[in-house]
Chain A
Amino acid sequence: MVETRRSAPRSGSDAQDDDSLIARFANGDQSAARLLTERHLGRVLALATRMLRDTAEAEDVAQEAMMRAWRNAAKWEPGRAKFSTWLHKVALNLCYDRLRKRKSASLDDVAEPVDDRASAQDGMEASERLDVLKDAMEALPERQRAAIQLRHFEERGNDETAEILGVSIEAVESLLSRGRRALRDKLAGQRALLLEE
C-alpha cells in the first residue's frame, strides 16, 4: 500500500519549474506547453475522473482546466501560488459545476441506485470492492470526496489541500475523517451482506 501511494511523483518541488514553463509559454514557446501538459494533465484527468466517474466529462474538464492555464499564462505571477494548486482548484471547481448540474437534472434522468447485493457472488473480489468503493465515493458530499482525492490520490499536504478546497486545515482533517469513515462503513456493510448470504 505504501509503495502504491508513493508511486505517483510529487509535484511540490516543481513549482519553480512550472513558473518558468508558464513564462516560456507566454513568450511563445510551444515546447513549454507540451512539458506542462505531460506533467499535469494525467493528475488533473485522474482527479476529474474520480470526481465525476465519467470519462468523457472528465476529459472535457481536464481540457478546459488546461485551456484556462494557457489563457492565463501571460498574467501568471510567479511565486504567488503554486501552479499545480491553481490548476487543481480550477479543475475541482469545474467538477463541482458539473456535479451540481447533475443534481439539478430531473429525477427521471437519474440512474437507478445500484443494488449492492447484486454484485455479491462468491466473495468480495477486488473488482467488486472497487465498485462498492466507487459508489460509496460518489455518495459522499462533494468536499469530503475532494479531500480524499487530494490527500490520498494526489498526496497533497494538509495546507495545500486546505488551499485548494478553500477551508481550514482542521476542516480538511475533519472532511477526511468523515469521508473515509463513510467509505469504511460502506465496505464493512458490503462484507456483512456477503457473510449473511
Chain B
Amino acid sequence: MTVIDMKNDMMTIEDFEERAMAYGADLDAWPEEDRAPARTLLAGSAVARRAMDDARALDEALALWDGPAPSQALMSRVLTDAATVAGEAPVAASAPALRTGAGWLARVFGNRPMLRPGLALAACLALGFVMGTTLEEQVMVPVDTGMSVDAGMIDFAFALEDDADLLLGPGSLL
C-alpha cells in the first residue's frame, strides 16, 4: 500500500461523526468508499463507537414511525382515476390535430380556452370578408356557403380543445 493509498483510506473522527449522523448506524447505508475506513475507526476508537451509539439511538427512534398502509378506499380512487384517464386516451390520441391549422394556431396563441370562441369568430369574419371582397363577381356562389363555413368553424373550435392535453409538456405537470 502506498502513502497515497493510506491517505485515501484514512478517515478522521470528525468525518466519521459526520457520516454517522448523516447515514445512521447501519454501515451498509454509508457510501461504499467510507465503509472500510469506518470499520477501522470503529475497531480502535471509543469516540467513534459513541458516535455510532448516538446514531443508532436516532435510527431506533425513527424506526418507530411507520407509514400508513393505503386504505382500500384510496386504492379504489386511484384505480378509478386510472380508468378515467384510460377512457380519455382515444381523445388525447387525436394527435393529427396538431398538424392542422387548428393545431398551429393553438401553438401560436397558446392553450387559453377564452381565446377559442374569439378565434373562431375572428376566423368567420375574416373568411366572410375575404369571400365578400374576392368572390363578389362570381355568380355561382353556393347558397349554403355560409352554413358550411359555420360548420367548419365549429369543428375548428373543437379541434383546438382537443389539442389542449397535447400541449401540456411533462415539465408543466411537475
Contact surface of A with B, Cβ cutoff 8 Å? 1-2, 4-5, 25-26, 28, 30, 33-34, 37-38, 41-43, 45-47, 49-50, 55, 58-59, 62-63, 66-68, 70-75, 89-90, 93, 126, 129-130, 133-134, 148, 151-153, 155, 158, 173-174, 176-177, 180-181, 183-184, 187
Contact = CB atoms under 8 A, between A and B. Distances in A.
Contacts of A2: 26, 28
A109 B5 CA distance: 58
Interface of B: 18-19, 21-26, 28-29, 31, 54-65, 67-71, 74-75, 77-79, 81-83, 85-86, 89, 92-93, 165, 170, 173-174
B174 to A, nearest CB: 6
B74 A59 contact: yes
A41 B85 contact: no
Main secondary structure of the interface of A (DSSP, over half): helix
A174 B23 CA distance: 11
Nearest to A134: B65
Contact of A46 (B21, B54, B68, B82): B68
Given A25-B86, A42-B67, A183 B18 contact: no
Contacts of A59: 70-71, 74
B86 A28 contact: yes
A67 B173 CA distance: 11
A176 B82 contact: no
Contacts of A180: 21-22, 24, 55, 58
Given A2-B26, A67-B81, A153-B67, A187 B74 contact: no
A37 B65 contact: no
